Amino acid sequence: MAEQARLDDRAVRERVARLEEQLGRLEQIPGRTAELALEAIAGLAELYGEALARAADLARDTPAADALGRDELVRHLFVLHDIRMSDTAPSRASATPLIPVEALARSIPGRVS
């Protein structure tokens, strides 16, 4: 099976901007359907965050940890999900993510942007 091409940082920023705009519009829609959609998105993000945290735990103290820490999108997701790869890694409180996703952060239970 051929390896899938990865998005460059510009393409990631464009997709995140589009997602933020869509989430913002969804937050403005009154009613249970929009609430349910946001809850589903938050649940999915929470599960993906847990999966990322588990992957980070497996990579800790390996060369892969350094590579993960150099990737802008992965670093952003670590900040969003409050995952620290090391004692020297920035925490959510001190880090400024490359790609802000305030709408998604508001959707994740227990997360404050």
- Give pLDDT tens digits for 25-37: 998 999 999 999 9
Write down the mean pLDDT value for the chain: 78
pLDDT at 9: 84
pLDDT at 12: 85
Structural Rg of the chain based on CA atoms? 15
pTM for this entry: 0.66
pLDDT at 31: 93
**In this predicted model, which residue has the larger pLDDT, 8 or 97?**
8
User: Which alpha helices (H) appear in the chain, and where do they start and end?
Assistant: 9-28, 32-59, 63-70, 72-80, 102-107
| Whether the predicted pLDDT of 8 surpasses 90 | no
Q: Contact 92/112 with Cβ under 8 angstroms? A: no
pLDDT tier, 104 (very low <50, low <70, confident <90, very high otherwise): low
